[in-house]
Homo-oligomer: A and B are copies of this chain.
Protein backbone atom coordinates (compact mmCIF):
# COMPACT_ATOMS: atom_id res chain seq x y z
CA UNK A 1 0.00 0.00 0.00
CA UNK A 2 1.38 3.42 -1.01
CA UNK A 3 2.09 5.93 1.72
CA UNK A 4 0.52 9.37 1.19
CA UNK A 5 1.98 12.45 2.77
CA UNK A 6 -0.56 14.89 4.19
CA UNK A 7 0.14 18.29 5.65
CA UNK A 8 -2.56 19.39 8.08
CA UNK A 9 -2.90 23.17 8.49
CA UNK A 10 -5.69 23.74 11.02
CA UNK A 11 -5.30 27.53 11.09
CA UNK A 12 -7.45 29.76 13.30
CA UNK A 13 -10.84 29.92 14.99
CA UNK A 14 -12.78 26.70 14.56
CA UNK A 15 -10.03 25.36 12.24
CA UNK A 16 -8.28 23.24 14.89
CA UNK A 17 -11.56 21.78 16.18
CA UNK A 18 -12.86 20.63 12.82
CA UNK A 19 -9.37 19.42 11.84
CA UNK A 20 -9.39 17.28 14.97
CA UNK A 21 -12.26 15.26 13.51
CA UNK A 22 -10.36 14.69 10.25
CA UNK A 23 -7.34 13.58 12.28
CA UNK A 24 -9.55 11.08 14.08
CA UNK A 25 -10.72 9.72 10.73
CA UNK A 26 -7.16 9.48 9.36
CA UNK A 27 -5.93 7.65 12.48
CA UNK A 28 -8.69 5.14 12.11
CA UNK A 29 -8.03 4.58 8.38
CA UNK A 30 -4.36 3.96 9.25
CA UNK A 31 -5.01 1.65 12.19
CA UNK A 32 -7.68 -0.33 10.32
CA UNK A 33 -5.18 -0.83 7.50
CA UNK A 34 -7.51 0.79 4.96
CA UNK A 35 -4.97 3.39 3.88
CA UNK A 36 -1.55 4.66 4.83
CA UNK A 37 -1.33 8.35 5.58
CA UNK A 38 1.71 10.06 7.00
CA UNK A 39 0.60 13.32 8.57
CA UNK A 40 2.51 16.40 9.57
CA UNK A 41 1.04 19.59 11.02
CA UNK A 42 1.88 23.24 10.45
CA UNK A 43 0.79 26.72 11.40
CA UNK A 44 -0.95 29.15 9.09
CA UNK A 45 -2.77 32.46 9.47
CA UNK A 46 -3.14 34.12 12.85
CA UNK A 47 -1.69 31.12 14.67
CA UNK A 48 1.50 31.38 12.58
CA UNK A 49 1.59 35.11 13.28
CA UNK A 50 1.28 34.57 17.02
CA UNK A 51 4.13 32.05 16.96
CA UNK A 52 6.50 33.52 14.36
CA UNK A 53 5.16 36.93 13.19
CA UNK A 54 4.51 35.50 9.71
CA UNK A 55 1.36 34.18 8.01
CA UNK A 56 3.15 30.92 7.20
CA UNK A 57 6.76 30.00 7.97
CA UNK A 58 9.31 28.98 5.34
CA UNK A 59 9.53 25.61 7.03
CA UNK A 60 5.81 25.01 6.67
CA UNK A 61 5.90 26.23 3.05
CA UNK A 62 8.59 23.63 2.37
CA UNK A 63 6.42 20.94 3.97
CA UNK A 64 3.46 22.11 1.86
CA UNK A 65 5.50 21.82 -1.34
CA UNK A 66 6.60 18.30 -0.38
CA UNK A 67 3.17 17.01 0.69
CA UNK A 68 0.89 14.95 -1.55
CA UNK A 69 -2.04 17.00 -0.33
CA UNK A 70 -2.75 19.78 2.14
CA UNK A 71 -5.75 19.67 4.41
CA UNK A 72 -6.56 23.23 5.40
CA UNK A 73 -8.88 24.50 8.14
CA UNK A 74 -9.62 28.23 8.09
CA UNK A 75 -7.76 31.48 8.79
CA UNK A 76 -8.45 34.93 10.16
CA UNK A 77 -10.37 36.71 12.89
CA UNK A 78 -10.70 40.12 14.54
CA UNK A 79 -7.74 39.34 16.78
CA UNK A 80 -5.43 39.96 13.82
CA UNK A 81 -7.28 42.91 12.28
CA UNK A 82 -4.43 45.28 13.06
CA UNK A 83 -1.42 43.20 11.99
CA UNK A 84 0.58 44.52 9.01
CA UNK A 85 -1.03 43.77 5.62
CA UNK A 86 1.89 41.56 4.47
CA UNK A 87 1.47 39.15 7.39
CA UNK A 88 -2.32 39.19 7.80
CA UNK A 89 -3.75 35.67 8.25
CA UNK A 90 -5.14 35.47 4.69
CA UNK A 91 -1.66 36.05 3.23
CA UNK A 92 -0.66 32.52 4.25
CA UNK A 93 -3.53 30.97 2.32
CA UNK A 94 -2.91 33.21 -0.69
CA UNK A 95 0.79 32.27 -0.72
CA UNK A 96 -0.05 28.56 -0.61
CA UNK A 97 -2.43 28.99 -3.55
CA UNK A 98 0.12 30.99 -5.56
CA UNK A 99 3.34 29.12 -4.79
CA UNK A 100 1.72 25.73 -5.32
CA UNK A 101 0.00 27.07 -8.48
CA UNK A 102 -3.40 25.83 -7.31
CA UNK A 103 -5.26 27.53 -10.13
CA UNK A 104 -8.48 25.50 -10.08
CA UNK A 105 -10.84 25.91 -7.16
CA UNK A 106 -13.81 23.52 -7.20
CA UNK A 107 -16.67 24.57 -4.95
CA UNK A 108 -19.71 22.33 -5.04
CA UNK A 109 -22.93 23.89 -3.80
CA UNK A 110 -25.15 21.01 -2.87
CA UNK A 111 -28.35 21.17 -0.90
CA UNK A 112 -28.55 18.26 1.51
CA UNK A 113 -32.20 17.18 1.43
CA UNK A 114 -32.31 16.94 5.23
CA UNK A 115 -31.26 20.59 5.40
CA UNK A 116 -33.34 22.19 2.64
CA UNK A 117 -35.38 24.02 5.28
CA UNK A 118 -32.27 25.65 6.72
CA UNK A 119 -31.99 27.77 3.59
CA UNK A 120 -33.42 31.27 3.50
CA UNK A 121 -34.71 30.28 0.07
CA UNK A 122 -37.93 28.42 -0.49
CA UNK A 123 -37.63 24.66 -0.46
CA UNK A 124 -38.61 24.34 -4.13
CA UNK A 125 -35.83 26.72 -5.15
CA UNK A 126 -33.03 24.72 -3.51
CA UNK A 127 -34.20 21.15 -2.96
CA UNK A 128 -32.00 18.88 -5.06
CA UNK A 129 -29.60 21.70 -5.94
CA UNK A 130 -26.25 20.34 -7.13
CA UNK A 131 -23.95 22.80 -8.91
CA UNK A 132 -20.21 23.37 -8.92
CA UNK A 133 -18.47 26.71 -9.12
CA UNK A 134 -15.09 26.43 -10.82
CA UNK A 135 -13.15 29.48 -9.68
CA UNK A 136 -9.82 30.61 -11.12
CA UNK A 137 -7.57 30.90 -8.08
CA UNK A 138 -4.08 32.15 -8.92
CA UNK A 139 -4.78 35.13 -11.17
CA UNK A 140 -6.91 38.23 -11.46
CA UNK A 141 -7.05 41.05 -8.97
CA UNK A 142 -5.78 38.81 -6.16
CA UNK A 143 -2.23 38.75 -7.46
CA UNK A 144 -1.93 41.38 -10.23
CA UNK A 145 0.67 44.13 -9.92
CA UNK A 146 0.74 47.04 -9.17
CA UNK A 147 -1.07 46.51 -5.85
CA UNK A 148 -0.20 49.59 -3.84
CA UNK A 149 -1.28 52.44 -1.62
CA UNK A 150 0.56 55.67 -2.40
CA UNK A 151 0.55 58.87 -0.37
CA UNK A 152 -0.30 61.73 -2.73
CA UNK A 153 0.19 64.45 -0.11
CA UNK A 154 -2.59 66.83 1.01
CA UNK A 155 -4.14 64.04 3.06
CA UNK A 156 -4.86 62.07 -0.12
CA UNK A 157 -3.86 58.48 -0.77
CA UNK A 158 -4.34 56.39 -3.90
CA UNK A 159 -5.00 52.65 -3.76
CA UNK A 160 -4.43 50.48 -6.83
CA UNK A 161 -5.24 46.82 -7.50
CA UNK A 162 -4.70 45.24 -10.88
CA UNK A 163 -6.79 42.57 -12.56
CA UNK A 164 -4.62 40.63 -15.04
CA UNK A 165 -5.49 37.56 -17.09
CA UNK A 166 -3.49 35.85 -19.83
CA UNK A 167 -4.99 33.57 -22.45
CA UNK A 168 -3.40 30.41 -21.02
CA UNK A 169 -4.85 31.05 -17.56
CA UNK A 170 -8.36 31.27 -18.96
CA UNK A 171 -7.82 28.23 -21.19
CA UNK A 172 -6.70 25.94 -18.40
CA UNK A 173 -9.50 26.86 -16.01
CA UNK A 174 -11.93 26.50 -18.90
CA UNK A 175 -10.71 22.95 -19.53
CA UNK A 176 -11.25 22.04 -15.87
CA UNK A 177 -14.83 23.29 -16.11
CA UNK A 178 -15.59 21.51 -19.40
CA UNK A 179 -14.05 18.22 -18.20
CA UNK A 180 -16.10 18.39 -15.02
CA UNK A 181 -19.30 19.19 -16.93
CA UNK A 182 -18.79 16.09 -19.08
CA UNK A 183 -19.07 13.96 -15.95
CA UNK A 184 -22.15 15.88 -14.84
CA UNK A 185 -25.01 17.51 -16.74
CA UNK A 186 -22.76 18.65 -19.57
CA UNK A 187 -23.38 22.37 -19.19
CA UNK A 188 -20.97 25.21 -18.43
CA UNK A 189 -21.97 28.80 -17.70
CA UNK A 190 -19.12 31.28 -17.96
CA UNK A 191 -19.54 34.52 -16.00
CA UNK A 192 -17.67 37.80 -16.44
CA UNK A 193 -18.32 41.51 -16.98
CA UNK A 194 -17.31 41.90 -20.62
CA UNK A 195 -19.48 45.01 -20.86
CA UNK A 196 -17.15 46.83 -18.46
CA UNK A 197 -13.89 44.90 -18.12
CA UNK A 198 -11.27 44.05 -20.72
CA UNK A 199 -10.49 40.91 -18.76
CA UNK A 200 -14.15 40.01 -19.25
CA UNK A 201 -13.79 40.50 -23.00
CA UNK A 202 -10.75 38.19 -23.12
CA UNK A 203 -12.39 35.68 -20.74
CA UNK A 204 -15.43 35.46 -22.97
CA UNK A 205 -13.35 35.14 -26.14
CA UNK A 206 -11.05 32.41 -24.81
CA UNK A 207 -13.90 30.36 -23.28
CA UNK A 208 -15.71 30.50 -26.61
CA UNK A 209 -12.58 29.30 -28.45
CA UNK A 210 -11.75 26.46 -26.04
CA UNK A 211 -15.35 25.32 -26.27
CA UNK A 212 -15.44 25.38 -30.05
CA UNK A 213 -12.04 23.74 -30.45
CA UNK A 214 -12.02 21.11 -27.71
CA UNK A 215 -15.47 20.68 -26.13
CA UNK A 216 -18.16 21.26 -28.78
CA UNK A 217 -20.22 18.48 -27.15
CA UNK A 218 -20.69 20.49 -23.94
CA UNK A 219 -23.29 23.27 -23.75
CA UNK A 220 -21.65 26.64 -23.10
CA UNK A 221 -23.57 29.71 -21.97
CA UNK A 222 -22.24 33.17 -21.13
CA UNK A 223 -23.69 35.41 -18.48
CA UNK A 224 -22.71 38.79 -17.09
CA UNK A 225 -21.55 38.24 -13.52
CA UNK A 226 -24.11 40.62 -12.02
CA UNK A 227 -27.09 39.04 -13.72
CA UNK A 228 -25.51 35.63 -13.11
CA UNK A 229 -25.59 36.47 -9.40
CA UNK A 230 -29.25 37.38 -9.75
CA UNK A 231 -30.02 34.13 -11.53
CA UNK A 232 -28.25 32.20 -8.77
CA UNK A 233 -30.63 33.74 -6.26
CA UNK A 234 -33.69 33.39 -8.46
CA UNK A 235 -33.37 29.85 -9.75
CA UNK A 236 -30.00 28.22 -8.99
CA UNK A 237 -31.04 24.87 -10.45
CA UNK A 238 -30.67 26.24 -13.98
CA UNK A 239 -26.89 25.84 -13.57
CA UNK A 240 -24.57 22.84 -13.67
CA UNK A 241 -20.96 24.09 -13.76
CA UNK A 242 -20.21 27.80 -13.42
CA UNK A 243 -16.72 28.97 -14.40
CA UNK A 244 -15.54 32.40 -13.38
CA UNK A 245 -12.55 34.47 -12.31
CA UNK A 246 -10.93 34.77 -8.90
CA UNK A 247 -12.92 37.72 -7.50
CA UNK A 248 -16.30 36.92 -9.05
CA UNK A 249 -15.73 33.33 -7.95
CA UNK A 250 -15.13 34.46 -4.41
CA UNK A 251 -18.47 36.31 -4.30
CA UNK A 252 -20.55 33.90 -6.35
CA UNK A 253 -19.36 30.74 -4.61
CA UNK A 254 -20.09 32.19 -1.19
CA UNK A 255 -23.56 33.18 -2.30
CA UNK A 256 -24.17 29.79 -3.88
CA UNK A 257 -23.03 28.11 -0.68
CA UNK A 258 -25.36 30.21 1.44
CA UNK A 259 -28.31 29.41 -0.83
CA UNK A 260 -28.05 25.73 0.00
CA UNK A 261 -28.55 26.27 3.72
CA UNK A 262 -25.65 23.86 4.07
CA UNK A 263 -22.70 26.24 4.48
CA UNK A 264 -21.21 24.20 7.31
CA UNK A 265 -21.31 21.15 5.04
CA UNK A 266 -19.58 22.34 1.88
CA UNK A 267 -16.04 21.27 0.93
CA UNK A 268 -13.71 22.68 -1.68
CA UNK A 269 -10.66 21.54 -3.60
CA UNK A 270 -7.88 23.71 -5.01
CA UNK A 271 -5.90 21.87 -7.65
CA UNK A 272 -2.71 22.46 -9.60
CA UNK A 273 -1.81 21.14 -13.01
CA UNK A 274 -1.04 17.43 -13.43
CA UNK A 275 2.71 16.94 -13.67
CA UNK A 276 3.53 15.20 -16.96
CA UNK A 277 6.24 13.07 -15.33
CA UNK A 278 4.83 12.09 -11.95
CA UNK A 279 1.16 12.26 -13.04
CA UNK A 280 0.54 13.91 -9.69
CA UNK A 281 -0.94 17.32 -8.97
CA UNK A 282 -0.54 19.62 -6.00
CA UNK A 283 -3.77 20.06 -4.08
CA UNK A 284 -5.26 21.78 -1.07
CA UNK A 285 -8.62 20.90 0.46
CA UNK A 286 -10.57 23.28 2.66
CA UNK A 287 -14.11 23.87 3.87
CA UNK A 288 -16.00 26.75 2.21
CA UNK A 289 -16.88 28.22 5.60
CA UNK A 290 -14.50 30.55 7.43
CA UNK A 291 -12.86 30.52 10.84
CA UNK A 292 -16.01 31.61 12.72
CA UNK A 293 -14.08 33.13 15.66
CA UNK A 294 -17.35 33.81 17.52
CA UNK A 295 -18.00 30.12 18.12
CA UNK A 296 -14.39 28.90 18.26
CA UNK A 297 -13.36 26.62 21.13
CA UNK A 298 -16.93 25.89 22.19
CA UNK A 299 -17.43 22.54 20.48
CA UNK A 300 -20.19 24.13 18.38
CA UNK A 301 -18.53 23.95 14.96
CA UNK A 302 -19.85 21.62 12.28
CA UNK A 303 -17.00 19.31 11.19
CA UNK A 304 -18.83 17.98 8.12
CA UNK A 305 -17.40 20.48 5.59
CA UNK A 306 -13.91 19.63 6.83
CA UNK A 307 -14.48 15.87 6.74
CA UNK A 308 -16.09 16.20 3.34
CA UNK A 309 -13.04 18.20 2.13
CA UNK A 310 -10.89 15.28 3.20
CA UNK A 311 -13.29 13.12 1.18
CA UNK A 312 -12.49 15.27 -1.86
CA UNK A 313 -8.79 14.63 -1.17
CA UNK A 314 -9.42 10.88 -1.24
CA UNK A 315 -11.16 11.30 -4.58
CA UNK A 316 -8.99 13.84 -6.39
CA UNK A 317 -5.52 13.25 -4.93
CA UNK A 318 -5.47 9.56 -3.99
CA UNK A 319 -7.80 7.90 -6.46
CA UNK A 320 -9.81 6.41 -3.61
CA UNK A 321 -13.22 7.21 -5.05
CA UNK A 322 -14.83 4.23 -3.33
CA UNK A 323 -13.64 5.30 0.08
CA UNK A 324 -14.76 8.88 -0.67
CA UNK A 325 -18.21 7.55 -1.54
CA UNK A 326 -18.28 5.75 1.80
CA UNK A 327 -17.39 8.95 3.63
CA UNK A 328 -20.19 10.78 1.82
CA UNK A 329 -22.62 7.98 2.64
CA UNK A 330 -21.61 8.03 6.30
CA UNK A 331 -22.27 11.78 6.46
CA UNK A 332 -25.66 11.32 4.82
CA UNK A 333 -26.56 8.48 7.18
CA UNK A 334 -25.65 10.47 10.27
CA UNK A 335 -27.73 13.39 9.05
CA UNK A 336 -30.62 11.06 8.28
CA UNK A 337 -30.39 9.76 11.84
CA UNK A 338 -31.23 13.29 12.98
CA UNK A 339 -27.90 14.31 14.49
CA UNK A 340 -27.20 18.03 14.04
CA UNK A 341 -24.58 20.56 15.11
CA UNK A 342 -25.89 23.93 16.24
CA UNK A 343 -25.66 25.62 12.81
CA UNK A 344 -28.10 23.17 11.22
CA UNK A 345 -30.29 22.38 14.20
CA UNK A 346 -34.04 22.32 13.66
CA UNK A 347 -37.03 21.00 15.52
CA UNK A 348 -37.11 17.26 16.15
CA UNK A 349 -33.37 16.75 15.63
CA UNK A 350 -30.70 15.73 18.15
CA UNK A 351 -28.01 18.22 19.17
CA UNK A 352 -24.40 17.16 18.67
CA UNK A 353 -21.07 18.79 19.46
CA UNK A 354 -18.20 18.90 16.98
CA UNK A 355 -16.71 15.76 18.49
CA UNK A 356 -20.01 13.88 18.73
CA UNK A 357 -20.65 14.56 15.06
CA UNK A 358 -17.14 13.43 14.08
CA UNK A 359 -17.45 10.27 16.17
CA UNK A 360 -20.86 9.43 14.75
CA UNK A 361 -19.56 9.70 11.17
CA UNK A 362 -16.59 7.50 12.04
CA UNK A 363 -18.82 4.91 13.71
CA UNK A 364 -21.02 4.85 10.63
CA UNK A 365 -17.94 4.15 8.51
Contacts and interface: CB of A to CB of B under 8 A. Distances in A.
A226 B142 CA distance: 14
A254 interface: yes
Nearest to A250: B226
Contact of A94 (B88, B148, B196): B196
A268 to B, nearest CB: 13
B166 A201 contact: no
A229 interface: yes
A97 to B, nearest CB: 11
Interface string A184-211: 0000000001011111011100000000
A157 interface: yes
Given A122-B122, A163-B141, A233 B259 contact: yes
Contact of A196 (B142, B148, B230): B142
Contacts of A121: 120-122, 233
Contact of A251 (B198, B226, B257): B226
- As for how many copies of this chain the complex holds, the number is 2
Given A234-B120, A254-B230, A158 B166 contact: yes
Contacts of A198: 85, 147-149, 159-161
Nearest to A249: B226
A165 interface: yes
Nearest to A236: B120
Nearest to A126: B120
Interface residues of A, number: 59
Contacts of A168: 156
Contact of A258 (B167, B230, B250): B230
A233 to B, nearest CB: 5
A49 to B, nearest CB: 14
A248 B225 CA distance: 11
A320 B197 CA distance: 38
B155 A167 contact: yes
A235 interface: yes
A198 B142 CA distance: 10
A199 B258 CA distance: 26
A42 interface: no
Given A159-B166, A160-B198, A161-B163, 8 more contacts: A89-B195, A157-B202, A158-B166, A158-B167, A226-B251, A229-B229, A230-B255, A233-B233
Interface of A: 76, 85, 88-90, 94, 120-122, 125, 141-142, 144, 147-149, 152, 155-168, 193, 195-199, 201-203, 225-227, 229-230, 233-235, 247-248, 250-251, 254-255, 257-259, 263, 290
- Top 8 nearest A-B pairs (CB, nearest first) are A159-B202, A159-B199, A161-B163, A230-B258, A90-B195, A226-B254, A120-B125, A159-B198
